[in-house]
Amino acid sequence: MGYIREAMKLWFEMIVEGYHPNEYIYNTIIFGFCKIGSLEEAKIFYKEMSDKGRKETTVGCNAMMRGLCLHGRTDEAYKLFTEMPHKDIVRDLITYNTL
């Protein structure tokens, strides 16, 4: 949990300084929350990412799917998987291995 706290501290410092996180920063935060099982937090950041006009990426989808699968929420992971092509998000080897 310590690393995600540090990441969130940096996140808020970026915002205060006027920097706008890109999809790579969002993906890192999403991955961190998924890794520690804070899936609701990860989903909030995932939604915020697209609400703020950041492109959803294969990496972000894979991180969400991995977290969902690791915590028994495979139906949600599969739903995200099926939505990817409709959003022009490429599925890669990691995507398929995650499921």
Question: pTM of the full predicted structure?
Answer: 0.84
Question: In the chain, what are the domains?
Answer: 2-98 (1.25.40.10)
Place of tokens 């139906």: 75
Q: Say whether 70 sits in a helix, a strand or coil.
A: helix
Q: Is the CB of residue 65 less than 8 Å from the CB of residue 73?
A: no
Q: Please report, in tens digits, the pLDDT of each residue of the chain (99 residues total).
A: 578 888 889 899 999 999 999 999 999 999 899 988 899 999 999 999 989 888 889 999 999 999 999 999 999 999 999 999 999 999 999 999 998
